[in-house]
Structure 1
Amino acid sequence: MSEPAPTTPYRSSRYTGYTSYSYLEAGTDYETFELAPELDRVPGYDLGLDAEQEERTRRLIQDNIIISLHDHPQVFPNDMSQVREYIRTGREHTGYLGLSRSGMTAVFDNLMDGTACVTSKSGWKFDDIIYDIGMRLSDIANQDYVTIAHNLDDIRRAHEQDQLAIVLCLEAATPIENEVDRLDILYGIGVRQMGIAYSEANTLGSGLKEPGDGGLTVFGRRAVKRMNQLGIAIDVSHSGDRTCLDTFEVSENPVLITHAGARGVWPTPRMKPDEVLRACADGGGVLGLEAAPHTTLSEEHIEHSLESVMDHFTYCVDLMGIDHVAFGPDTLYGDHVTLHDVFATNLGVHQAHVGPEYPKMPYVAGLENPTECFHNIVGWLVKNGYSDEDIIKVTGGNVMRVLEQIWR
C-alpha cells in the first residue's frame, strides 16, 4: 500500500482547472480556509495487478457508465477543528479536480445535510438545505465540467461528453417536517433521491439508532406516495429495520439502500439484516456498499479497508443476487474519521456502531476518497475473476436499470 493513488484520469475529461467559487474574490467575497488536498492525502492502495489486469481495469472504467450511489464530493478543511466554522459560511467546496481523476460518470451527492449547520448546531433545517443547494448550484453554474443530472439522459450525456453528473440527494426527509409539499419544492430545485430518516426518528419513520422502531408513520406513507409520484428515489440506509420493511411494502417503486452493508458480516445497527436485504432485492431495489470509516468491517479484515468492504460485497451478492448490488462508498475529501468525531451527536455515530470491538483506523485503506474508489473497486473485481458483464452491472448498470423504474 505504498504506491501513490492514480492521478491520470481513465477517461478523457473536460475539466480545465476550475475551483469552487473562483468567479469571486477569495478573502473578500467569502472566507477562506486551508482545504484538504484532493489528491494523495494518504498513500495509495497497491492491488498488485499485473499489466493485463491494469489494462482491463482501465478499459472497463473508460468504456462504461460508472456510478457512485452515495458520496460526499465536497472538500473539507485540512484542520477538521474548523469544520463547523467552514460549514457556517454556507460555501462548501466541490472537489472538481479529484472528481476529474475518479473515472466516475455520475455521483449521488448527498450534500452533507445532516451537518448543514448554517443557522443551527443540529442540522436538518429546511432553510439551511435550500441555502446549501442554492450555493452549490451557483458554483456549478460557473463551470462546464460537472453537470446536474435530473434524468437518465443527463447521465448518458455526461458519459458521452466526458463530463461528470451530480445527482442531488438528501440523506433524510427530516427537513420537510410535516409539509409534504416541500418534497415538490426539493424536486423542483433538482433533488432526485432522498432518505426516509437519518438515525434519529422523524415525522416519516424511525432511524436506526432508536431503541424502538414503530415503522413508517401515516405521514411517512403520504411522503412515500408523493416521492413515487414525483420520481424521487427513496433510500432507507439509516432507517430502522421495521421502517425499511414498511417502506418496501408501501412504495410502488423499487427502494434503494444507497450505503450500507450486511449485519450477517458485521453485527451493528448500521448494517442491514438479511431480512431487509432480501426484501430490498425482492422489490427490485439495489444496495450500495458502504465504506465510511468503521462501518463495513468484517472479522476477517477487522482493520477497515477495501478488503473489509468486499467481504460485505461477496456476502450480499450471494444473498441478494448480482443484479441488486452496487457501491455507495460514502467518501469525501478530508479527514472523515475526525469529521465523525466532531459530529458524533448529530450523526448518531456511536449508537450506529454498537457491536464488536474494532481498532480505530485513521482512514479506510483503498477507499479513502472519491478519486480512488472505483479504480480500486474495479481493480479488485478484475483481480478476483469477475466477468466484464458482472463488473459493469455492479459499478453502474444495476443503478441505471432501477432508476429506469423510479425516475420520471
Structure 2
Amino acid sequence: MMIALVSVGMMIVLSLLRVNVVLAILSAGITAGLMAGLSPGDAMKMFLNGMGGQAETAMSYILLGIFAVMIGYSGITGVLVKILLRFLKGKRGFLIMTIAVVACLSQNAIPVHIAFIPILIPPMLHVFNDMKIDRRAVASALTFGLKAPYMLIPVGFGLQFHQTIAEGVASAGMNVPTDDIWKAMVIPVIGMVVGLLTAVFISYRKPREANPSQRSTAASPDLEDTPDPSFHWKHGCTIIAVVGALFVQLVMEDGALIYGALTGIILLFVFRVVPFRYGDELAGDGIKMMGMIGFVMLTASGFANVLESTGAVDELVEKAVALSGGAGLLTSAVMLFVGLVVTMGIGTSFGTIPILAALFVPFCLSVGYSPLATVALIGTAGAMGDAGSPASDSTLGPSSGLNADGRHHHIWETCVPTFLHYNIPLFLFGIIAAAVL
C-alpha cells in the first residue's frame, strides 16, 4: 500500500516544486521499484520496458503537432479566429465557455481529442493577453471539454470509455449494459459542471496578466497585425486536408490518429499549401510543440508498468477495500481516494478502469452496492486524477497550446487549477451518486 502512496506522492511533490515532469515521473518510478525490493538495474529495466505501452499515443501526438503547425502555416486558423473574435472580443466569460464547448465536441461529435488544441489556442494567445484573460480559466475549460463528455455521452471516446467500464465489471462478475453506464455518470458530471462554472466565473474571473517570467523565443501570432480576413484557395485546400484527416481517423481502427495525421500532412504537401522546401522546418516546429507531451506519455507508461508489475496498485486497492467496511459514505470515499491515487500515477482513466473494476466489483457485491452505484464509483474513481495529473493528456494538451509563447506553467497553471476544480467536486458528487443509485 505504501509503495503506490509514496511514489505517487513523490511525483506530485516534485512537480509542485517545478522539477521537470519527466524527471519527477522517472524518480517516482525508480523509487517504487526500489521500495518493492528490486535492484536499481531491474527497476530501471522494468520502467523502460513499460514505456512502449504508450508508443502509439506518443507518435500520434508528435504527428498531430506537425499537422497543426502546417495548418497554422496556411493562415486559415488566424482568419477563423479573427472572425470569431469579432463577436466574442471583450466578453471574457463567454469566450472561455465557447472554448469549453469546442473542447466538448472533440470527444464525441468530432473525436479528435487534444488534436484541436495546438491548432486553435496558439493564435488566440495574443487575444487572451489583450483581454487579460486568466489562462488558468482557459485550461480549466479545455480540461472540462476533454473529460466530461466522454464520461457522460456514449459516442466517440465516450463509447470507448463506457465499453471499458462495462467490460471491466463484466469480467469481475457484474453485468451492466453499456447503454446504462451514462445513468451512473450523470451526478459526477454535474460535479464537473459545478467545477467549470466555479473556475470561470469565480476563481479566475478577474483580469490577469500572463506570466512574464516565462517568456521564451516562441511567440503567438499577433492577430491584430494580420490583414482583414480573406478566404484564399489554400484555405479551402487546408479544410479538405482537415476533413480528410478526420475521415481517416473515423474509419480506421488501429493507429487511427497516426494515419489521420499522416493523411492530413500528405494532402497539405500534395495541394502545395506547404512547399516541400519548408517541410523540415515545420516538422521540427511541430516536434518541439508536441514532442514533450509524447515523451511524458512514454515516461508515464513506464511508471504505470512499475506500479502494476510490482503489485503496488493491487495492494493499495485490496487494503483500502478491506479497511473500509460495509457500504456507506466512508467506504465510497476510500474507494474514490484510491482511484485518485492510482490515476494520478498511471495518468489515464481508460487504463485505470480495468484495474479498479477487477478489485472493486467483488467487494461492492459483497457489501450491497447496486450495479449502478458500483459503476458510479468505478467510473468516477477512474476519472479522478486524470484532471490534475502531470502525466495526463487532459492537462498536457491544454498546456501545449497555452504555453506556445512560453508564458504558461504546466503544473501551477494547468494541473493545480484542474485538480482543485474537478477532483474535489468529482469526489463529493461521486459519493452522492453511490449513495442514491
TM-score, normalised to structure 1, is: 0.24
Q: Which has the higher contact order (CA 8 A, sep 6+)?
A: 2
Larger proportion of helix: 2
Q: Which has the larger radius of gyration?
A: 2
